[in-house]
Structure 1
Amino acid sequence: MTKKTGSLRRLLRFLRPHLRPNRGLVVGGFAAMFIEVAVRVIEPWPLKFVIDAVVAPGAAADSGIVVLLAVCAVAVLAAAGIRALAAYFMTVCFALAGTRTMNTVRGRVYAHALRLSLRFHNGSRAGDLINRLVSDVGKMRDVAVTAAMPLIGNCVTLVAMFTVMMFLDWRLGLVILAAFPIFLLFSHVSSRRVTRAARVQRAREGDLAGAASESFSAMKLVQAYTLEPVLESDFASSNSKELREGVRATRLAAGLERTTDVLVGVATGAVLLIGGMSVVRGHLTPGELVVFVQYLKGAFKPMRDLAKYTGRIAKALASGERVLALLEERPEVTDGTQDLGRPSGRVSFRGVAASYDDETVALENVELDVLAGERVALVGHSGSGKSTLASLVLRLQDPSEGVVEIDGRDIRDCTLSSVRAATSIVLQESVLFAGTVRDNIRMGRPTATDEHVAWAADVADVTEFAERLPDGLDTVVGERGDTLSGGQRQRIAIARAILRDARIVILDEPTSGLDATSAGTVTDALDRLTAGKTTLIVTHDLEDALSCDRIVVLERGRIVEQGTPEELLGRDASRLSILNRSADRAAAGGPR
């Protein structure tokens, strides 16, 4: 089995269950297709009767001839109308079935990608994933509608017409039959080359999309460092490579198409030669020869179409391989079966180890108990494992060793939705989506009413600046919230967390990068968010750490010190030397 055949079978197996909900449309399309095939088989016969009647010895324009001509004319018109109507319904049914199926596939691919682990997303380019989701699925849909399903109809036509041709003159039928092995040989060799080129081209297109996505998402940095010429040069180089592969695929497909035309011409010439001899010898009538030539054109149409669509089918197959490769990625974090419910908020780490990848250790033998309602600061140098420790509570990743518990229950046994419903998070760089301020707050709890959203906005001091926006909470913010300041984005993120009303709150450098005034406003909102909640604060800020009930110091993935702020300051203040940002602000005279 060739790689192409194996890929095609895998793709068909994958698509089959997605086609089942549309089987009514598929059956209707095939019914219309068989009607259209039957009419195409019958359509040349009126012409046969006319030619035989007109060229017959002693033929005259008597009433019988006139009636025959009239009947044949009406038959041709009726056949054309029925065939057009059947072809219309066939196209519509197949198009609807193909489009709905591929839309379902696209939804499944998107849902699957959303659930893949952070490690996968951290190692993937967002632009390439978007290319698979939009472009690759789109190519599969277009080819299924415009090429694959019509080709099935053409193949059915080929079998029907070839059967009639063998009945008319088996010698001419064998002439046509001899052309197919030659075509299949050329097609097999060429299509493998086209598929390889298309596979490389689709990968190049994914790289292009990834590079463009990275550039556009970092536009401030690009323009600030005048990186436009460098990125333009890199993009032009990648673009040229994609162009070369595209031209190669097109050239190979065009060569197969022209070879097919020559093969069809040779077969047609042979049929005219042998068929003409048969007419002269009386084995065929002139009308039957015309029918044979008409069938010949119809019989070779699948070959022409296959040659014509080889490039597009190859690209669709390459796109299918990319989509299947994404769907075959398995999430590292698997769902549990138990409902965590609404916990009191006690979090425990028992002998926990974790890693960034297979080689880099992030945490090692961590033992930590966080009491319900306790506020704990996680401090340490960058890379010491603070954020990894916090991410384990959310099950953004699972420990490689040990257990993370909430209220004494291993969170791996609980459903992801219930674990994450018990937690809220505010990140260093708040992520906002294109939409209104109200929409972004409501993402904390999608079922919340406008009144609850407005309440959360008040508590997080969002209302204070929203009143100055053109449409208040209904003001549309740009993608990633770039139309707002950093402090405003943080307050929206805090409102979102407040609306979630989770028992466990994770703050990952929530005031980092903010000016003193914004940091003071955000800190007030954070205090309201975390009141009475179990809180883990990842921070380099001395004042944030000193406001906690306990400080946990990590170095190289291990807990090296923990205690109340007073205990650590009295025992070994050097451990807190990295917590200096608030001190710097104080020295500069800035308020908190």
Structure 2
Amino acid sequence: MASSDRLRASALRRTLGLVRPHLRGQRLLLAGGAGLLLLEVVWRVLEPWPTKLVVDAVSRSLGADLQDSGPPASLQLLLACALATITIIGFRAICNFGATVLFANGGSRVATQLRARLFAHVQTLSRTQHGASRSGDVVQRLVSDIGRLQEVAITAGMPLLVNVVTLLAMIGVLAWIDPVMAVVAAIAVVVFLLFSRTSTGKITAASRKTRRSEGDLASIAQETLAGMTLVQAYGMERERSRQFGGSNLKSLKDGVKARRLAAGLERRTDVLVGVSTAAVLFLGGWRVLDGAMTPGDLVIVLTYLKTAMKPLRDLAKYTGRIARATASGERVADLLDIEPEIVSPADPVAKWPVHGHVSLSGVRLAYEPGVPVLRGLDLTIRPGEHVAVVGPSGSGKSTVGALLLRLLDPDEGVVAVDGVDVRRVDLGWLRSQVALVQQEAVLFTGTIEENIRHGRPDACDEEVEEAARLARVTQFTDLLPDGLRTVVSERGGSLSGGQRQRVSLARAFLRAAPVLVLDEPTTGLDPDNVLLVTDAIRDLARGRTTVVITHDVETARQAERVIVVEHGCVTWQGPAAEAPLERVLDEDGQPAGDVRQDAGRDARQDATEPLRSAS
């Protein structure tokens, strides 16, 4: 078998393997659709017989000496054949309509389940794995690639199977009527298979390139839209348009090639059908003159040939669609084949009331081989202790927070909570014991209340309102017409940075986890918002093990103990009042005090400012 044939078979096998588990739940719909399509085949077989009876009857009435005996033409016969034709076509249309509806319903359900499965899988991948992929391409696989898989599983696959049955049934009936005509149809089928064999591999390869180009296109668009402020501020519009245009042109060329190959297969099939019809006209007419067939038989043979050739046309049409969908199926399968790096253990330790004792022992971690981030880091935090982790950029501070949440696993060493290695704990439960507040507060489209409720979805309204009050969210929502039910735009763009951060803190208040991780919570905020956020953090940290990762001198001074991390190791730790913060942060080139003053000059905003007018 040629290389392209092996690739095509492998791709199709992977695609069918994706959808097969989801077909089981749709057996009733698919079986009903297949049954109706098989009934349609029966009606197609019966459809030309009334015409044969009329032609032969009229021929007898005109004095033709036919080989077989039969009734002459009469008003009753003509009326009966006309009614029979209407009945057969009506039942065929009903069967086709029912099958189309059932297959469409089943296909949509299969696609919905597969899309949900893929989305759930994507959420299990680690931060490292997400960093290695392009979000626009992942979205493309989730949305359009799975949509195309419906063509393999249902829209094309099942009708294709029934068309093959139709073709075999028609050839069988032709063999019964006249073996010579059956041989003509069989030769046409063999020639088509040869055409298809040489074309399908090329269509699949071209379609694979097209889907890859479209994924790149989606990634460029997503990156540009997400960074539109930077694009406009730095005048990058032309450069981004050039990159988008290049990928767009490549997608166009690959798409045109795939469709040109598919169209070529369809047109060759049309020529094949024409040649076959001409052969039947010649041979069939000669056999009628020879007395081996009646004129009615010739009508049936021509009708069957036309009906039998329709599956060939459909095979050509569906071959291109299946090839394109198979390329999409490969992309979905590739994503599902990525094994999550971080998963719950098969036999996790029993849950316990977490006290918040955190330790990192001999932790080593490298994002890339030969580029270590942590170099044997040792760190212990007592239950309820408030510590600040400071150090130059790239020293590994934020990695400490990621390890506590098990967003990353160390290459060596142990990260433990209450003396239990976090790798032995159920992943979902572990993360429920830690509340995270990031530098860039992440909000989702919805209301402010809904964003706070993400901290604990089962919280009652009173608990949500109390968390909002403690995080100083109500200081600006009370001035809004809809209060906490105010809708925010994508990524919270209709809120100021300080407002978003307070919503993020409210989410942590509602979570009420025993361990709190704050990663640069005050960076980039104006002085008024820094004061509000700092006060809220002080209330939030009370009674909890708190790890604040910061460049801000004042925020670090609020902690009981400061831990200095440099070059992936702890180089100093002790009381906050004695910490060499100015020296450490000066090494980074950006003392937090200066950053905060600059933010106050450039982005000063009153803490009680309502939703910005952009909303």
| Common fold: TM-score over 0.5 | yes
Distance 2:485 2:77 in 1: 75
Distance 1:540 1:585 in 2: 10
Alignment match of 2:552 (pick from 534, 541, 561): 541
Q: Does 1:22 align with 2:26?
A: yes
Change (3 A) 1:505 1:589: closer
**Shift of residue 316 of structure 1?**
0.7
Alignment match of 1:184 (pick from 193, 196, 200): 193
Distance 1:141 1:8 in 2: 13
Distance 2:599 2:214 in 1: 50
Distance 2:594 2:136 in 1: 41
Alignment match of 2:179 (pick from 158, 170, 174): 170
1:47-62 to 2 correspondences below 5 Å: 47-56=51-60, 58=62
Which digits, 9 at most, give the CA deviation of each residue in 1:45-77, with x for residues without a partner?
1111111111125569x9962222122111111
Which digits, 9 at most, give the CA deviation of each residue in 1:146-199, with x for residues without a partner?
322222221111111111111111111112111222211111111111111110
CA contact under 8 A between 1:18 and 1:101: conserved in structure 2? yes
Alignment match of 1:360 (pick from 346, 371, 380): 371
CA contact under 8 A between 1:198 and 1:311: conserved in structure 2? no
Q: What is the one-letter code of the residue matched to 1:516?
A: P
* 1:167 match: secondary structure: helix
CA contact under 8 A between 1:457 and 1:463: conserved in structure 2? yes
Distance 1:526 1:161 in 2: 78
Change (3 A) 1:430 1:588: closer
RMSD: 2.1
2:469 alignment counterpart: 458
* 2:393 match: secondary structure: coil
1:42 alignment counterpart: 46
1:123 alignment counterpart: 132
1:105-184 to 2 correspondences below 5 Å: 105-142=114-151, 144-184=153-193
1:330-479 to 2 correspondences below 5 Å: 330-336=339-345, 337-479=348-490
1:261-340 to 2 correspondences below 5 Å: 261-336=270-345, 337-340=348-351
2:573 alignment counterpart: 562
**Shift of residue 589 of structure 1?**
10
**Shift of residue 325 of structure 1?**
0.4
Distance 2:597 2:489 in 1: 34
Q: Does 1:522 align with 2:526?
A: no
CA contact under 8 A between 1:348 and 1:405: conserved in structure 2? yes
Distance 2:583 2:213 in 1: 52
Q: Does 1:31 align with 2:35?
A: yes
Change (3 A) 1:167 1:387: same
Distance 1:574 1:90 in 2: 75
* 1:56 match: secondary structure: helix
Distance 1:530 1:363 in 2: 26
Runs of 4+ displaced beyond 6 Å = 586-592
CA contact under 8 A between 1:351 and 1:366: conserved in structure 2? yes
* 1:329 match: secondary structure: coil
**Shift of residue 584 of structure 1?**
6.7
Q: What is the one-letter code of the residue matched to 1:327?
A: L
Distance 1:161 1:358 in 2: 64
Q: What is the one-letter code of the residue matched to 2:336?
A: L
Which digits, 9 at most, give the CA deviation of each residue in 1:451-504, with x for residues without a partner?
111110000000000012231111101101111111000000000000000000
Change (3 A) 1:495 1:280: same
CA contact under 8 A between 1:548 and 1:565: conserved in structure 2? yes
Q: What is the one-letter code of the residue matched to 1:370?
A: I
Distance 2:334 2:448 in 1: 37
CA contact under 8 A between 1:376 and 1:551: conserved in structure 2? yes
Distance 1:583 1:28 in 2: 72
Q: How many residues align?
A: 590
Sequence identity (%): 48
2:226 alignment counterpart: 217
1:10 alignment counterpart: 14
CA contact under 8 A between 2:445 and 2:492: conserved in structure 1? yes
Which digits, 9 at most, give the CA deviation of each residue in 1:344-380, with x for residues without a partner?
1111112111121334211121111111001111111
Distance 2:538 2:146 in 1: 47
* 1:377 match: secondary structure: strand
**Shift of residue 252 of structure 1?**
1.0
Distance 1:66 1:583 in 2: 103
**Shift of residue 541 of structure 1?**
1.0
Which digits, 9 at most, give the CA deviation of each residue in 1:107-143, with x for residues without a partner?
0011111111111111111111111000111111245
Which digits, 9 at most, give the CA deviation of each residue in 1:70-121, with x for residues without a partner?
2211111110111111111111111111110110000001111111111111
Distance 1:361 1:562 in 2: 22
Structure 2 residue runs of 5 or longer lacking an equivalent are 65-70, 608-615
- Which range is displaced more, 582-591 or 141-150? 582-591
* 2:465 match: secondary structure: helix
1:71 alignment counterpart: 80
Distance 2:391 2:272 in 1: 74
Structure 1 residue runs of 5 or longer lacking an equivalent are none
Alignment match of 2:242 (pick from 219, 233, 246): 233
2:612 alignment counterpart: none
CA contact under 8 A between 1:340 and 1:419: conserved in structure 2? no
CA contact under 8 A between 2:57 and 2:72: conserved in structure 1? no
Distance 2:537 2:151 in 1: 51
- Which range is displaced more, 128-137 or 51-60? 51-60
- Which range is displaced more, 466-475 or 499-508? 466-475
CA contact under 8 A between 1:339 and 1:418: conserved in structure 2? no
* 2:429 match: secondary structure: helix
Which digits, 9 at most, give the CA deviation of each residue in 1:296-317, with x for residues without a partner?
1111112111222333222211
Q: Does 1:251 align with 2:260?
A: yes
Q: What is the one-letter code of the residue matched to 1:323?
A: V
Distance 2:469 2:206 in 1: 58
Distance 2:120 2:366 in 1: 26
**Shift of residue 14 of structure 1?**
2.2
CA contact under 8 A between 2:115 and 2:143: conserved in structure 1? yes
Change (3 A) 1:437 1:588: closer
1:581 alignment counterpart: 592
Change (3 A) 1:359 1:82: farther
CA contact under 8 A between 1:542 and 1:583: conserved in structure 2? no
